[in-house]
Structure 1
Amino acid sequence: MANRDIVAIGTSAGGLDALRLLVSELPAEFPAALLVVMHLSPRFPSMIDSILTRLGGMPAHFAEEGEPARRGRIYLAPPDRHLLYDGRSLSLGLGSRENYSRPSIDPLFRSVARCCGHRAIGVLMTGTMTDGSSGLHVLGACGGTTVVQDPEDAAFAEMPATALQKGAVDHVATLAAMPALLSNLVRQPAGAKSEAPEYLEHEVEMAKTGRSTIGLMDGIGRRSFVTCPECDGVTWEIEEGGTLRYRCHFGHAFSADLVNIALEDSISRALAVAVRSFDERAEIARELEQQAERKGRPSSAKMWRERIATLNLEASIIRDAIRRISRLKKAELSSLENEAALQQNRPSAVVSR
């Protein structure tokens, strides 16, 4: 009987240390292939493959286009490419960044869900922001076993905490407990194969080729009033597991939380530009007022003083708006941290759901 022989792992900030500990504790005869996405910058060379190879019994290398995924080996997403799997071989996607990242975790999880969710395990570990939670949810819905690092144990809690808030996670484990948990899970028989949602084919293809059409996007979501934070294009709103995410037809994809942050930043930048513009106009008006005074034109000087007062008032109103946005953002972050703290209140190293 086939076992769960594909382990898809996603991590970001703090991921190198987490992967080092995990790989060093896994046996050389591990009966599954490890497909790993860690957010890497394309501007700098990475030695993560040689680091992981030295630590464990399994060889690690950056995945190559078209190679098969073999048991007992670690395949890493190279910088600036999405790592995808079709059940037979690996591919390196040229699609747009998702959640501001390429490689992104969501495309790997979605590709595994589409081809072989019934024999896969999805693992989401330490990291910032929200990448991976959408793909992990889909992987679980397609028969995959889902594992999340305990946010209290993670160097950066946001990524695993977001996955827990989305729900439907099978296991929550500390990093120390994860090698034993995975060693047990990969030896369990694969589940019954289930039909993947039709939209997954399109989303995986977008991550692979970067190609899409407005007609295809209309088939997986509804058009939104939100513009894409990356390209300012039209986005489609996609409801998934009770939460929203957004994607444009160029392939950029974001969680609702990331879109909200991007819009807040955009508003703050626009307001800052407006304040600077009012300040500059007030400074010019002040020079013109002084010039009118020197030339003995009191009525003109009075007009410029009134203009200065108006400009200063308008700048003050915008500064107050910036401060209100800042206070709202802090309150929102505090609320999210409190919610994550409630999610993290678990007594054991491994919790099965």
Structure 2
Amino acid sequence: MARRNIVVIGASAGGIEVLQTILAALPWDFPGSVFIVLHTSQESPGLLPEILNRCSKLPVLYAVHGAPILPARVYVAPAGRRHMMLDRGKVRMEAGPRENRNRPSIDALFRSASYAYGSQVIGVVLTGNLDDGSAGVAAIKARDGVAIVQDPDDAFAPSMPASAIDATDVDYVLAAEAIGPKLIELVTSNVAENLQAISNGTRNIAATGHTYSCPECGGVLEEIQENELLRLRCRVGHIYSPESFLADQTEAVERALWAAIRSMEEQTEYADRLATSSRQKNRAALAHRFSDKAETSRENAAVLRELLQKTTDEIFDIPQPIPEMEPRTRTE
């Protein structure tokens, strides 16, 4: 018999406070290994282990390539550079393409954990926007692992946990303060190790025949179905969930609209100058023509600005800054 002793946690907006709550509940002799991906900007000052160590009885450290997986440890993925993935017995840091617009990606961690450890994995999806973690938690469930999701009503940003609930039959939907005690309960119980699920778990993927353009590299993006979830993947390896793909497409449209607005406003300014110059030379017909051109460009720029406002009304995931916090007293 094996133990459910591999705990993988994914969070985004509002995640630091929830992670503190969970880790504060775990005892110093917690028999599981905890792995955390928190979406932050690549320029993050790298203080997350320090912040979490203030409230955790378990040592919290940044993951490094090849590090052995030990019990009673918390491994945090460094921001922005590599995916944190699990092999049997060790951590693997991989500089692969972004997944769901992020590197490290929650899905990448969850999926690799499910392939390496099967039914021993407990996946936890916390607060955040968009839907990173949904495909990963479905992969964990497909290999007989356990899925815990923060109650969307309890989350600062409910989109990520709500998407995970929609993606698969999760085992527990809990408020933040109930997740730590549930982890203690789960890791101290035995589970039948599903070796077949581990060995056969590498691919349950089918192409749908629909293709798009990859927002990151411009290559062909193929729609695939994995564990009954739609995802998109290009030849290079960029992977998108539907919501992440739409978010990147929205940003691409925004960039194109700003470029068009800039061109229209420059065109307006230049046509106005030509109209003024023509009037000074008593060329009324030419001045009128340039004035009409300037007015048309001005109106078009206004229309584009209105369209841009509508396009950017939806708020997508913005990494939270690491807050300054007072040290908390640790108790053994």
Same fold (TM over 0.5): yes
Letter in 2 for 1:27: P
| 2-structure distance, mates of 1:197, 1:105 | 22
| Pairing 1:113–2:114 present | yes
- State how 1:25-104 maps to structure 2 within 5 Å: 25-79=25-79, 80-104=81-105
1:1-353 equivalences in 2 (<5 Å): 1-79=1-79, 80-193=81-194, 194-195=196-197, 200=202, 221=207, 224-319=210-305, 321-322=307-308, 325=311
Say if 2:143 and 2:201, in contact at 8 Å, map to a contact too: no
* 1:10-37 Cα shifts (integer Å, max 9, x gaps): 1222222222221111122222111222
Instruction: From the superposition, tell whether residues 95 and 291 of structure 1 become closer, same or farther in structure 2 (CA, over 3 Å).
Output: same
Moved more, 134-143 or 284-293: 284-293
Aligned partners of 1:300, 1:54: CA distance in 2, in Å? 73
1:248 Cα shift? 2.0
CA distance in 1, matches of 2:53, 2:291: 72
Distance 1:76 1:21 in 2: 16
For the structure 1 residues 321 and 65, does the alpha-carbon distance in structure 2 shift closer, same or farther, using more than 3 Å as the test?
closer
CA distance in 1: counterparts of 2:62 and 2:254, whole angstroms: 39
Report SS of the residue matched to 2:98: coil
**Are residues 303 and 127 of structure 1, via their aligned partners in 2, closer, same or farther at CA, if it must alter by over 3 Å?**
closer
Deviation at 1:51, TM superposition (A): 3.9
Report deviation, 1:319. Answer: 4.4
Amino acid at match of 1:252: H
Counterparts of 1:39 and 1:315, CA distance in 2 = 36
Give the number of aligned pairs.
313
- The structure whose residues are more often helix, as a share, is 1
Residues 48/281 of structure 1: CA separation in 2 closer, same or farther (3 Å cut):
closer
Deviation, structure 1 residue 256: 0.9
**Cα displacement (A) at 1:223:** 6.1
Name the residue aligned to 1:349: none
Query: Secondary structure of 1:85's match?
Result: strand
Q: How far off is 1:179 after superposition?
A: 1.6
Q: CA RMSD in A?
A: 2.6
The 3-state SS of whatever aligns with 1:69 is coil
Q: Deviations over 1:155-192 (max 9, x none)?
A: 32222122112231111111111121111111222245
Query: Contact conserved, 1:114 with 1:201, CA < 8 A, in 2?
Result: no
Q: Is the 8 A contact 2:118 2:193 kept in 1?
A: no
Aligned to 1:348: none
- 1:136 aligned counterpart, secondary structure: helix
Q: Report how far residue 6 of structure 1 moved.
A: 1.0
Once structures 1 and 2 are overlaid, which stretch shifts more, 154-163 or 50-59?
50-59
CA displacement at 1:69 relative to structure 2: 1.3
The separation in 2 between residues aligned to 1:51 and 1:321, in whole angstroms, is 42
Helix, strand or coil at the partner of 2:221 = strand
CA distance in 2, matches of 1:322, 1:74: 43
Cα distance, 1:224 vs structure 2: 4.6
Query: 1:244–1:255: 8 Å Cα contact kept in structure 2?
Result: yes
Q: Alpha carbons of 1:317 and 1:38: their partners in 2 closer, same or farther (altered >3 Å)?
A: closer
Distance 1:177 1:307 in 2: 65
Q: Can you give the 5+ residue segments of structure 2 that lack an aligned partner in the other structure?
A: 316-332
Task: Report the CA distance shift for 1:269/1:57 in structure 2 as closer, same or farther (over 3 A).
Answer: closer
Give 1:44 deviation, angstroms.
Answer: 3.9
Residue by residue over 1:51-92, the C-alpha shift from the partner in whole angstroms, topping out at 9 and shown as x without a partner, is 434433322222232232122222222332221112221111
When residues 129 and 295 of structure 1 are mapped into structure 2, their CA distance, relative to the original with a 3 A threshold, is same
Greater mean alpha carbon deviation, residues 168-177 or residues 291-300: 291-300
